[in-house]
Amino acid sequence: MSWNSYPVPEALPPADDEIAHKSSPRASETPAFLEMVAFFTLAAILITVIQALSVAIAIHWHLFGKIALRKLAYLPRFTIPAMVVSYGAVAVATVALYRRVWPDGFLAGIHWNFSQARRYAIWLPALGIGLGFAMQLASNYLPIPKELPVDSFFQNAPDAWMVALFGVFIAPICEEIAFRGFLYPSLRPWTGRILAAILTSIPFTLLHAQQVGRAWGPLSLVFIVSLVLVWVRERTNSVACSALVHACYNLSIFAAIFYASGGFQHLDRLKD
């Protein structure tokens, strides 16, 4: 009897979990380019709708008196709550969507990696604070306008506290998830690290353009800060690390304003 005459057993079908593992993207491959596009599309729609509804409600019900739309945009009592609601809606929708797409979960998909932030818990805040003071020092040698639109956020102590708390605890996390969690890793496979860092920093800088009156001096500093944040994200493979540096950078700026204004009690000193 020849060897080939023996019956050959049929191959066993792969297990269901093996199929799911092979067909699902690994955490190292996320976010993909189309997943990034979907995120920013979803975020743009939700933020636009919520902001428009907030403006309509505020104007129709005269929540802040008869106020022009331009002034309403720089009123922290309106803009900060509206942004919190907008960012919250985007966060809920994004987590609900991508936890179904990424088998390892949303935080793994954006490379949050909080363990890295704990590992460098001393150096990251030091980097953020040092970066903040370095940028403030550099601003002395750049053409910075004496009055910036962002200055209108600091008219009184309650407004200043509201802006500071938002700028330290909420904005850095949301911005890092968007730019260093979605945009940068989705561009890197197509463009390489350097070009991806530049392409990530351009829209990040433009996001802050209105706050500084589109002056190239402060915008150039924002661009440099973004490059540093990309470097932190790339070096540590952790969005949590870049968010911590970002938060401490903002903290250094608000701390300088707090000190210069006597605890936000004499904000008129900032104009001197």
Q: What is the DSSP string of 162-194?
A: HHHHHHHHTHHHHHHIIIIIIIHHHHHHHH-HH
List CB contacts of 241: < 8 A, sequence separation 6 or more: 113, 116, 117, 120, 124, 232, 233
Mean pLDDT of 92-97: 96
Q: Is the pLDDT of residue 117 over 50?
A: yes
Q: How far is CA 30 from CA 26, 49, 71, 107, 112, in A?
A: 7, 28, 40, 11, 12
Mean per-residue pLDDT of the chain: 90
List CB contacts of 169: < 8 A, sequence separation 6 or more: 247
pLDDT digits (tens, 9 = 90+) for 33-90: 999 999 999 999 999 999 999 999 999 998 998 888 888 988 999 999 999 999 999 9
> In this structure, how many other beta carbons lie within 10 angstroms of the beta carbon of residue 48?
11
Q: Is the pLDDT of residue 272 over 90?
A: no
Q: Which among 221, 81, 233, 82 has a CA at the least distance from the CA of 144?
A: 221
Percentage of the chain modeled with pLDDT above 70: 89
Q: What pTM, to 2 d.p., does this model score?
A: 0.88
Percentage of the chain modeled with pLDDT above 90: 76
How confident is residue 269, by pLDDT bands cut at 50, 70 and 90? confident
pLDDT at 25: 46
Could you tell me which residue, 25 or 270, shows the higher pLDDT?
270
Q: Is the pLDDT of residue 24 over 50?
A: no
Q: Is the pLDDT of residue 240 over 90?
A: yes
List CB contacts of 260: < 8 A, sequence separation 6 or more: 269, 270
Mean pLDDT of 113-129: 97
Q: What values do phi and psi take at 63, rounded to 5? A: -65, -25
